[in-house]
Amino acid sequence: MGYSREVYDAAVAELEKRRIEAVNRAAALKDRMTAKYPRVREIETAMASCSVRVARAVLDGGDVDAAVERIKRDNLALQAELAALLTAEGESARDFEPRYVCPHCDDTGYAGGKICSCLQVLLREEACRRLSRMVSMELTSFEDIQLSYYPETPVEPRSGMTPRQWMEGVVTFCRDYAANFGSRSENLLFSGPTGTGKTHLSLSIARAATEKGCGVVYGPAQVLLHRLEKEHFGRQAGDSEDMLLECDLLILDDLGTEFGSPFTTSCLYNIINTRLLEVRPTIISTNLKPPELLEKYGQQIASRVVGSYRTLLFMGQDIRQLRASQRMREG
């Protein structure tokens, strides 16, 4: 999964914190028990020497099986004695060793050479937290979309639909896209006026994909491209380019509002082209129409976006302004 380095590092740090806490809990119990019962330290030392005794028995020859059996009985007797002391204090022999949160990987994040489910959960949770901090959560749910803000008139001549009917179809498509999102999902281009729901639907898809365990990177194009520029010219450390190229879903919001330069245009081309070649889904939202994309970015970028992305046209008035007017009337 294409999570960013920041998300991965945060998840691994949480696992390391769990490991340290488990080790410290076991160590604290040992210290407490050995302070009260000096015999505990003697038992531990004797148990630790059992493997040495086995090796010595093998080297000495003779009846190795009988010697190993004696050592095993001694070890079991020591374990029973330790368990009795711990039970007297309301503790368990199991607590004498670190009790990790995940029994499959001992909080390392990997088991059998593969990523453990506990790390997958932490990655997903961290990605969701970061998405939540980045944007208002009220803009990240399909349930919060209010079609009543889209007018019921007039009928659009080419489609034969009102803006509300048209946008109902767009919302339904996006909901299905989110429900079935996967590595082979198609690229989307959201095109339409400001305030018609492009960001809301983008983030609703982002939230659904993140909850599925996918690595999602969302950001205004201006912010992401500026970040690449600062990292490229050494003004800021980071791995943004890898993150943008490798994430499971990239959402570039408000394309066309960024300050254009040969560098940012080159970065944008590299992102779009690389993700197309590697079949990684991308969603782009913009106020620009296809001819305006061509004028601003040139044939290389515009042809790839228009030709390789499914275009969803957004209609209606600026919902942010409608809500503001509604609040003023209610106030």
pLDDT tens across 77-94, in order? 988 988 888 888 888 877
Mean pLDDT of 211-239: 79
pLDDT at 219 over 90: no
Average pLDDT, integer, range 95-110: 92
- CB atoms near residue 198 (< 10 Å): 24
Mean predicted confidence (pLDDT) in 244-270: 89
How far is 307 from 279, CA to CA, in rounded Å?
Answer: 14
Q: Which domains does the chain have, with CATH numbers?
A: 22-101 (no CATH), 135-330 (3.40.50.300)
Cα–Cα distance for residue pair 67/88, rounded to 1 Å: 32
Quote the DSSP letter at residue 288.
-
Question: How far is residue 189's CA from residue 199's CA, in Å, rounded to a whole number?
Answer: 12
Summary mean pLDDT of the chain:
86
In the block, residue with structure tokens 């090796």 = 55
Please give the residue that has the higher pLDDT: either 277 or 128.
277
- 65-77 per-position pLDDT tens digit: 888 888 889 889 9
Taking the C-alpha atoms of residue 98 and residue 86, their distance in angstroms, rounded to an integer, is 15
**What pLDDT shows up at residue 302?**
93
Q: Between these two residues, 132 and 196, which has the higher pLDDT value?
A: 196
Note the pLDDT of residue 277.
Answer: 95
For residue 281, list its beta bridge partners: none
- CA gap 106, 19 in Å, rounded: 8
Going by C-alpha positions, the residue among 291, 289, 320, 290 that lies closest to residue 196 is 320
Chain segment 278-305, per-residue pLDDT in tens: 999 999 999 998 889 999 999 999 999 9
Of residues 100 and 215, which shows the higher confidence score? Answer: 100
pLDDT band at 258 (very low <50, low <70, confident <90, very high): confident
Tokens coding 274: 């690389």
Residue with tokens 């296809």: 290
Query: Which comes out higher in pLDDT, residue 133 or 63?
Result: 63
Whether residue 224 is predicted with pLDDT greater than 70 in this model: the reply is yes
pLDDT reported for residue 175:
96
Contacts of 100 (CB under 8 A, 6+ apart): 18, 19, 22, 106, 107
| Prediction pTM value | 0.67
Supply 78's token pair.
């020591």
The predicted model gives 134-139 an average pLDDT of 54
- pLDDT score, position 108: 95
Mean pLDDT of 95-100: 87
Residue 312: phi and psi, rounded to 5, are -115, 115
The amino acid at 84:
A
Task: Bin 215: left if φ > 0, else alpha if -120 < ψ < 50, else beta.
Answer: beta
Helix (H, G, I), strand (E, B) or coil at 247: coil
pLDDT over threshold 90, residue 190? yes
pLDDT for 51 equals 82
Q: Which of 242, 203, 198, 199 is nearest to 224 (CA)?
A: 242
The pLDDT of residue 136 is above 60: no
Report which listed range, 49-63, 121-135, 293-307, is most confident. Answer: 293-307
252 - beta bridge partners? 219, 284
How far apart, in whole angstroms, are the C-alpha atoms of residue 302 and residue 308? 10
